């Protein structure tokens, strides 16, 4: 049995090399791309995580989880920016507004992925919850209310 989790490896570059080699050898397998995605996610490399997640989504476009996690990469960046923005002195309006714009840009980029996840799996409560949060950020009351109602319905099932 070959361990591809990487938990026992000391050399992460070697681990990544093995995964890339395996992915090239078995291009139809999502398992190796998934492990590469996990590697970059744990390393905090958002751009590479997104790249790998998009490869997974291309290979399996009907997988709601892949769509959801692509959305997550943008949403988490937005939350990080929100934290930074909250620490900006209110007197620094331009800096605050710039950070707000970057935050909303990430939210806007996350939105279609969460929508796609919900389109693929209409009972995907996590996607509904994130859509509800996004609509809250955007002050989109009708969609916020719709997601709130849908979430209650899903929670009852």
How far is residue 144 from each of residues 11, 20, 147, measured CA to CA in Å?
A: 46, 41, 5
The CATH number of the domain where 110 resides is what?
Answer: 1.25.40
Residue 69: its pLDDT value, please? Answer: 94
Residues 92 and 21 in one domain: no
Q: What is the pLDDT of residues 125-149, one digit of tens each?
A: 999 999 999 999 999 999 999 999 9
Taking CA atoms, 72 is separated from 16, 29, 40, 88, 102, in Å, by 23, 23, 14, 24, 16
User: Is 147 within 8 Å of 135 (Cβ atoms)?
Assistant: yes
**In terms of domains, do 25 and 84 share one?**
no
Range of the structural domain that residue 36 is part of = 1-46
41 CA to centre of own chain: 10
- Regarding whether 120 and 65 lie in a shared domain, the answer is yes
Confirm if 93 and 100 have CB atoms less than 8 A apart: no
**One domain, residues 94 and 135:** yes
Q: Is residue 51 part of a domain?
A: no
Answer yes or no: are the C-beta atoms of 67 and 117 closer than 8 Å. Answer: yes
pLDDT band at 1 (very low <50, low <70, confident <90, very high): very low
Q: What is the pLDDT of residues 43-88, one digit of tens each?
A: 888 898 898 899 899 999 999 999 999 999 999 999 999 999 999 9
Evaluate whether residue 37 is within a structural domain.
yes
Structure-block tokens of residue 8: 């026992």
- How many domains are there within the chain? 2
92 in a domain, yes or no? yes
> Looking at the domain assignment, is residue 56 inside a domain?
no
CB 72 within 8 A of CB 61: no
Domain annotation covers residue 55: no
């Amino acid at each position: 049995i070959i361990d591809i989790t990487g938990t026992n490896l000391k050399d992460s570059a070697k681990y990544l090399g093995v995964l890339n080699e395996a992915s090239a050898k078995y291009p139809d397998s999502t398992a190796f791309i998934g492990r590469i995605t996990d590697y970059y996610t744990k390393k905090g490399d958002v751009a590479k995580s997104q790249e790998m997640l998009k490869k997974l989504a291309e290979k399996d476009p009907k997988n709601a989880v892949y769509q959801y996690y692509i959305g997550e990469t943008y949403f988490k960046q937005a939350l990080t920016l929100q934290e930074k923005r909250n620490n900006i002195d209110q007197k620094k309006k331009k800096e605050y507004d710039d950070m707000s714009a970057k935050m909303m840009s990430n939210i806007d980029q996350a939105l279609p992925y969460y929508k796609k996840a919900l389109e693929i799996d209409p009972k995907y409560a996590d996607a509904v919850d994130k859509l509800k949060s996004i609509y809250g950020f955007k002050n989109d009351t009708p969609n916020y209310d719709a997601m709130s109602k849908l979430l209650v319905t899903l929670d009852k099932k």
